[in-house]
């Protein structure tokens, strides 16, 4: 499965894309800014999870403090 992200400026544009996705039988959803940031952070973490530069324990410590 592939993911396509389209960033729009207003709700009427979002509605057009949502309607098109529905007509084409694709799953579609609108993400909040927070969810977009979470997805970006997860992508970076997945990319870097095998890098030896930062120990996993240190990463968890930083993330716990960020809450």
Each residue's pLDDT, cut to its tens digit, for the chain (67 residues) gives 788 888 899 999 999 999 999 999 999 999 888 998 998 899 888 988 887 777 888 888 888 887 6
What's phi and psi for 18, nearest 5 deg? -65, -45
DSSP state of 2: -
pLDDT of residue 16: 94
pLDDT of residue 19: 95
Q: Which of 27, 31, 23 is nearest to 6 (CA)?
A: 31
pLDDT of residue 21: 94
């Amino acid at each position: 499965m592939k993911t396509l992200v389209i960033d729009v400026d207003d709700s009427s544009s979002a509605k057009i894309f949502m309607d098109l996705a529905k007509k084409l039988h694709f799953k579609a959803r609108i993400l909040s800014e927070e969810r977009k940031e979470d997805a970006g952070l997860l992508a970076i973490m997945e990319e870097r999870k095998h890098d030896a530069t930062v120990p996993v324990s240190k990463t968890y410590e930083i993330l716990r403090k960020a809450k």
